[in-house]
Structure 1
Amino acid sequence: MSISQQRPWSGDFVADQLDVAIHSDPQSAVAVQDLVGLALRRNPKRAHLLVSAVLAKHVPTEPALVMAAGELLGAFVASELALMPDDGGHPRTLPATGESSLTTAAAQLSAVLQGSPGKRHSAIAAFAETVAGLRTVVTDAVVLGYAETATGLGRLVANSLGAYYLHSTRHATPSVVPVAGFEEGHSHATSHALVPTDPHWLDGNGPVILVDDELSTGSTVINTIRELHALVPHAVYVIAALIDLRSSSDRARFDALATELDCKIAVTALGKGRVELAPDILPRAAELIQRLQPPASVSPVPAANPKPAGRLSVLELSSEDLTPVRSDRFGNISPPNAADIDVIAKALSHLVGTHKCQGPLVVLGCEENMFLPLAVANTLASLLPAGDVRFSTTTRSPIVALDQSGYAIAGALSFASHDLTHDGPGIRFAYNLNGTGQRPGTIVVFPEPGTSREDVLTGSTTPDRPGAGLQPLGLALAGIADDVVLVLLPVDTPVRGNQPANIHSSIPSSIDTEVTP
């Protein structure tokens, strides 16, 4: 039974208004409707947005659920690889993931998603325990995640396989020259770059795993495989997504590409199905958005705030406290050290307790910076069992907020960007932090490591750029929560050819507090 049969589905409004029909494949491991809801994009190329229930990009979600769902996708990849020969034509000697184990884990995930948030902790714990037993080491694999939405998901898949990981980026990287780039046609920000610092990152003979949150047409993946194959040809490519909604003609394009490149291309997903869209969906969506929110409100402006601004605190850690953080956009052979995650989580737990911060507590990553704050949120949830800890991230994507049942985005917060990106300053967003029943008591926000407090408190818009006049991230968040904690971490800015050091320090962390100006 899917969510839509138990209570209003968070895609009902868009489905009804725009005649969007999502059909889950009977053989799908998890029903597509359980995995996603629907919202309206502000994008002339794509009317609707599939809002994931397990990605925590747009919906604050229990961190343990996000981590286990991502690692389950990694187990699906391992199962797919077990069916393929290696580069020499020999059967792979992977531990048997076991079809029954995958089926059990998928059923547990379905049960979690059909439950009510806040009342499914034990079900999530059981699901996570099952998934932990499915980890399979594939050391010769290279895992590539897509910015910005799937950077954390790709890291989770890489963790489950014990594999090297790199994600694409839209950030400016002055110290590293891109080795490849590709376009994502329907995205709000289309250009991706690959900036690995290891010149031999793709030289092995193992499988290349491409990870995204959804496959709609697969065009971005096809562009990527062509780019990668031109750099170093590989025999096996596996595409892993939370949901696969490609049409039969799109699937045929993958088969044709495999024949053209003389390689194997496999696709695996937690949910499989298809989507039906009315031929006039784009003009209908534009009319609907205009009717719901007149043109004067299309350009986001700071919402009126009847409450005084919340308290703003800063937790600033240095290289004496933990290993400087190297972004996965540069390629990493392993995730951040568990000991460093513990240092950050314990420092936060101490600050929250000392300041008597109230829940619910949302840990908020920023755009591509998803996995490290997710891991901290997961540890923090165990340190603050009564704190109702959730995880989410900011995004570039402009989405219509509609505070009503049957819609996936109840509230939208807009603010000025602060990161250095190729396309310059602009508007950024955080969703489902305001709106009916959405308001967190405390928000813990993780800007990109190396970000200064001035960046987060002033933003980077200019008078002639989108977002001019909006508040910076720190002040915008302080307008919707009682407490906001900015976590500033040291950064490892790499140079080409260097790999991350495997060291860490356990020197106690430092904390200082500021009052919002």
Structure 2
Amino acid sequence: MNTPVNDRVWSGTWVTERLGVELVGDDALTDLLGLALRRNPKRAHLLVSHVLGKHVPQSPSVVYDHGIALGRRVRDLLGPEEAEKAVVLGYAETATALGHAVADGLGTAPYLHSTRRPVPGVAPAGGFEESHSHATSHLLLPEDPDLLASHGPLVLVDDEFSTGNTVLNTIRALHARHPRRRYVVAALVDMRAPSDAARLDAFAQEIGARVDLIATASGTVRLPADVLERGRRLVARHEAGPAKDRPQEAVAGPRGAAGAPGRQAHGRVGRVELGWPRGLPDGGRHGFTPAHRERLEQALPGMAARVAEALPEGARRVLVLGFEELMYAPLRLARELERLVAAEVRYSSTTRSPVLAVDDPGYAIRTRLVFDAHDDPADGPGERYAYNVAGGGFDTVVAVVDSVADTPGLHAPTGLLARLAAHVPHVLLAVVPSYVPSYVPSYVPERSRSSMLPEPLRGPAFSSYAPDEVGWLLQDLSDVALEAPTEEREEAIQSGGAHYAESLPVEYQPSERYQELFHAALTASAARIAQAVGVVTETVLAERTPRPVLVSLARAGTPIGVLMRRWARFRHGLDLPHYTVSIVRGRGIDANALRWLAAHHDPADAVFVDGWTGKGAITRELTQAIREFEEKEGISGFDPEIAVLADPGSCVRTYGTREDFLIPSACLNSTVSGLVSRTVLRADLVGPHDYHGAKFYRELAGSDVSNLFLDTISSRFAEVADAVDTASKELLSADRTPTWAGWAAVERISEEYGIHDVNLVKPGVGETTRVLLRRVPWKVLARADGGTPCSSAAESLGEGSDLDHVRLLAEQRGVPVEEVDELPYSCVGLIHPRYTRGATGADGRAVTR
């Protein structure tokens, strides 16, 4: 960019000279607007506002003050009494922050903006079309359906009022449902032709309501008759050059690209935690009330201070970059930051609107940064844009997105962060929790509320699994700090001060040697696991239901459920539904998840899936929880019997094997489970109508082996198919009555070792691994024969058995491994009940005495 974006040369001359498009109006018009060319067959030109904060980085105070001033003019027009009753409606995506600022200017008005993002579980209260837009459909998704049913004035806010078609479509749709006497249209610029103004007046008479219009500036656009065709040719000519739109570039006009093809990121990318207040909406998508506004005002200074602390030393020019509809929160944050720091602060937003970029001071869009969509948009994958950012002289960009958009795509080489880092030395990511409505009318019967529960979370927005592999009936708590040091958690759990499900352990980061063990174990056991997957799936199809709905118990059950689903498709061509739900020892299964399942599937088809059994505690927990759910809800049909890959405890009838062998998914935590944490159930986070929670560890994507685990085992399905047929027939004819031998063994070990609490005895390879990864272990009991040999690769790393990783973890944590005879499991992990803080082993970790 050769000259500043806001130069004295009017940023509309380039278009005027080439297409003959002219702005005619009052003196303020050209101060507010420039011109650019759309890549849109419906309209050739784009009015580019200098004060909207969308396409042109601007001082956040200037942007916000224009909205406030517009709101105060509306308040003066309505008068105090009517202004008290007003509701403000803004338009997505460009006017979401403007509408919010107008509501702030009114003082006490609730605010709602339209959205192009469907939200699972939220029924639209209306919608309309914006005919000239790149993305035309708008949804209205208020949390409180009464918001649009009031009789006070409705204030509609847009950045420009061009023909009036969008406003007429909106009023017509809303007036049919909730008639009112008065509407006010507020816009930065009124560009209607006289005929459009007359049409609005006639429409107001038709519906019997008053429709007023307030604008900061007014005028008209003079368009040549052939402007659409000439505009298309002009865009095509400029985009056919060497700087043609490529995701690898920040594209400028033919006089120079702002980035070279294939340019790699060189700037530093970091993250700043805002401390966004829990339960505060991230904007007006579902409504924003005066009470919300008050909470935001109180929190803004602290959040801005955190951003200021995260800025690099000596920052001179900082851009706070919003994300499509998420404009108001970044704007207010930028305005507060502007007050705190000496650096020059600017604000703008990304957009889905394709616009030609030309590096000329007489053109409004000087550079275009192109990146892949990263919020799982309803219109599918595609490109998104940030204009006038590359080449803008910024040494820091603070990118603000909501948590729905904090996906692997955001962090990918073709994503926004990498694109920014290719042109800016420092990039900071700030994530605002995406607000999910919790409004449940009091008159809705309890059992009917399942239809109002959110749809399952899916990858890549939540988890690294493909969206069709599993739906998570959980709520996303990724932005909540839940991790606590292992020693502190253990003390709190054993003292009764906290339940294990109220916090999360810090994610274990495996050493290089431990990762080698995982990969060796996966290679060696893949065929054995594939056979067990096939056997348990065939058993379910033969005995339970021919069309099962797989319901995995989070999180160890999830990869097994995915594998069972893949087997059913591989062998039978079945596309089975698969969900993950939370069950918590001592607190039962997530009843809201069961309600959702009962509302969408026959409960008799639900098959609960887990990875393995230990002593059978979860088996008993599920049986009791299903019984209590049926008694309370009056919904019957769920079968509490769990289908597991391995049943060494002899607790269930449906299993792939009863051997206690290493299932490599037990070796790791989230990085083999779709990057999802163990589930969380805490009263201040999970309300009576919420799913249990979990976190998505997006930042661990570089270590993720979840799909490697699945693909490695799935690749062995064909070679074990015959063995599965033989084993399945034998199993179906065998006596599989549970003996609960594992529970008896655990009771015996508990007494022999003076523990006297079966919950502190964790039998089996999987449970022992969990003890070593998440708890404070006392010792490990290993069967004297050491387990089944794994592979020559594993042998070179240690004992050469299923217990290699257990021995390595025990060594790293200073935990003794005691070999014993006649152990029904390969190993057992023990947690000592007399845990005390302060004692440490050689590695500095706390141990028990």
Task: Please say whether Structure 1 and Structure 2 have the same fold, judged by a TM-score greater than 0.5.
Answer: yes
Matched, 1:70 2:16: no
**Contact 2:274 2:306 (8 Å CA) reproduced:** no
Q: How does 1:191-340 map to 2 (within 5 A)?
A: 191-294=137-240, 298-303=244-249, 304-305=259-260, 309-317=266-274, 324-334=280-290, 335=293, 337-340=296-299
Counterpart amino acid of 1:441? Answer: D
Q: 1:298 to 1:219 in 2, by over 3 A?
A: farther
Q: How does 1:178-197 map to 2 (within 5 A)?
A: 178-197=124-143
Matched, 1:8 2:9: yes
The aligned counterpart of 2:376 is: 420
Q: State the Cα deviation string for residues 443-462 of structure 1 (Å, max 9, x = none).
A: 0000124543635213xxxx
Q: 1:358 aligns with which of 307, 311, 315?
A: 315
Q: 1:476 to 1:7 in 2, by over 3 A?
A: closer
Give TM-score, length-normalised by structure 1: 0.78
| SS of the residue 2:437 aligns to | coil
| SS of the residue 1:79 aligns to | helix
| SS of the residue 2:310 aligns to | helix
TM-fit CA distance, 1:231 = 1.2
Q: 1:141 aligns with which of 73, 86, 93?
A: 86
**Contact 2:96 2:326 (8 Å CA) reproduced:** yes
RMSD: 2.7
Q: State the Cα deviation string for residues 142-161 of structure 1 (Å, max 9, x = none).
A: 10000000000000000111
Q: State the Cα deviation string for residues 143-196 of structure 1 (Å, max 9, x = none).
A: 000000000000000011120100000012112111111111110000000001
CA distance, structure 2, for counterparts of residue 213 and residue 360 of structure 1: 26
The higher radius of gyration belongs to 2
Matched, 1:39 2:36: yes
Counterpart amino acid of 1:16? Answer: E
TM-fit CA distance, 1:80 = 2.5
Q: 1:292 to 1:498 in 2, by over 3 A?
A: farther
The aligned counterpart of 1:490 is: 433
CA distance, structure 1, for counterparts of residue 360 and residue 66 of structure 2: 27
Counterpart amino acid of 2:111? Answer: Y
| SS of the residue 1:288 aligns to | helix
TM-fit CA distance, 1:295 = 6.9
Counterpart amino acid of 2:217? Answer: G
| SS of the residue 1:329 aligns to | coil
Q: State the Cα deviation string for residues 354-389 of structure 1 (Å, max 9, x = none).
A: x426231000000000011111101111111x2111
* Range with bigger deviation, 196-205 or 332-341: 332-341
TM-fit CA distance, 1:439 = 3.0
The aligned counterpart of 1:173 is: 119
**Contact 1:146 1:168 (8 Å CA) reproduced:** yes
| SS of the residue 2:272 aligns to | strand
CA distance, structure 1, for counterparts of residue 164 and residue 269 of structure 2: 43
**Contact 1:238 1:267 (8 Å CA) reproduced:** yes
CA distance, structure 2, for counterparts of residue 189 and residue 141 of structure 1: 28
| SS of the residue 1:200 aligns to | helix
Q: State the Cα deviation string for residues 455-506 of structure 1 (Å, max 9, x = none).
A: 5213xxxxxxxxxxx711111111110000000233331134489xxxxxxx
Counterpart amino acid of 1:480? Answer: H
| SS of the residue 2:146 aligns to | coil
**Contact 2:33 2:50 (8 Å CA) reproduced:** yes
The aligned counterpart of 1:132 is: none
Q: 1:158 aligns with which of 95, 103, 112?
A: 103
TM-fit CA distance, 1:273 = 1.0
Counterpart amino acid of 2:309? Answer: H
TM-fit CA distance, 1:253 = 1.0
Q: 1:484 to 1:48 in 2, by over 3 A?
A: same
CA distance, structure 1, for counterparts of residue 30 and residue 482 of structure 2: 43
Structure with larger RCO (C-alpha < 8 A, sep 6+): 1
Q: State the Cα deviation string for residues 230-256 of structure 1 (Å, max 9, x = none).
A: 110010000000000101111111111
| SS of the residue 1:367 aligns to | coil
The aligned counterpart of 1:381 is: 338
**Contact 1:197 1:498 (8 Å CA) reproduced:** no
| SS of the residue 1:382 aligns to | helix
Matched, 1:345 2:304: yes
Identity between Structure 1 and Structure 2 (%): 42
Counterpart amino acid of 1:445? Answer: A
The aligned counterpart of 2:54 is: 57
The aligned counterpart of 2:355 is: 399
TM-fit CA distance, 1:351 = 1.0
Counterpart amino acid of 2:417? Answer: G
Counterpart amino acid of 1:406? Answer: G
**Contact 2:36 2:48 (8 Å CA) reproduced:** yes
CA distance, structure 2, for counterparts of residue 217 and residue 452 of structure 1: 36
| SS of the residue 2:402 aligns to | coil
The aligned counterpart of 1:457 is: 411
Q: 1:341 to 1:513 in 2, by over 3 A?
A: farther
| SS of the residue 2:117 aligns to | coil
TM-fit CA distance, 1:208 = 0.4
CA distance, structure 2, for counterparts of residue 301 and residue 308 of structure 1: 13
**Contact 2:282 2:432 (8 Å CA) reproduced:** no
**Contact 1:52 1:58 (8 Å CA) reproduced:** yes
Q: 1:498 to 1:54 in 2, by over 3 A?
A: farther
| SS of the residue 1:221 aligns to | helix
**Contact 1:64 1:378 (8 Å CA) reproduced:** yes
Q: State the Cα deviation string for residues 58-83 of structure 1 (Å, max 9, x = none).
A: 0110001001011111122123324x
Q: State the Cα deviation string for residues 236-293 of structure 1 (Å, max 9, x = none).
A: 0000000001011111111111111000011110011111100000111112122222
Q: 1:11 to 1:281 in 2, by over 3 A?
A: same
Q: 1:318 to 1:453 in 2, by over 3 A?
A: farther
CA distance, structure 1, for counterparts of residue 234 and residue 87 of structure 2: 43
TM-fit CA distance, 1:317 = 4.5
Judging by fraction of residues, say which structure has more helix. Answer: 2
CA distance, structure 1, for counterparts of residue 195 and residue 352 of structure 2: 30
* Range with bigger deviation, 156-165 or 285-294: 285-294
Q: 1:498 to 1:400 in 2, by over 3 A?
A: farther
The aligned counterpart of 2:395 is: 441
Counterpart amino acid of 2:422? Answer: G
**Contact 2:374 2:407 (8 Å CA) reproduced:** no
Give TM-score, length-normalised by structure 2: 0.48
Q: State the Cα deviation string for residues 382-425 of structure 1 (Å, max 9, x = none).
A: 111x2111000000111111111211111100101111332122
**Contact 1:439 1:480 (8 Å CA) reproduced:** no
The aligned counterpart of 2:575 is: none
**Contact 2:189 2:217 (8 Å CA) reproduced:** yes
CA distance, structure 1, for counterparts of residue 420 and residue 327 of structure 2: 18
CA distance, structure 2, for counterparts of residue 293 and residue 455 of structure 1: 26
Counterpart amino acid of 2:410? Answer: V
User: 5+ unaligned residues in a row in structure 1: which ranges?
Assistant: 1-5, 83-91, 95-137, 459-469, 500-506
CA distance, structure 1, for counterparts of residue 701 and residue 416 of structure 2: 12
The aligned counterpart of 2:622 is: none
TM-fit CA distance, 1:7 = 3.2
Q: State the Cα deviation string for residues 74-101 of structure 1 (Å, max 9, x = none).
A: 122123324xxxxxxxxx657xxxxxxx
* Range with bigger deviation, 40-49 or 310-319: 310-319
CA distance, structure 1, for counterparts of residue 163 and residue 44 of structure 2: 15
CA distance, structure 1, for counterparts of residue 327 and residue 160 of structure 2: 17
CA distance, structure 2, for counterparts of residue 63 and residue 227 of structure 1: 34
Q: How many residues align?
A: 431
CA distance, structure 1, for counterparts of residue 287 and residue 19 of structure 2: 41
User: 5+ unaligned residues in a row in structure 2: which ranges?
Assistant: 1-6, 250-258, 443-479, 484-696, 703-849
**Contact 2:239 2:245 (8 Å CA) reproduced:** no
CA distance, structure 2, for counterparts of residue 388 and residue 516 of structure 1: 34
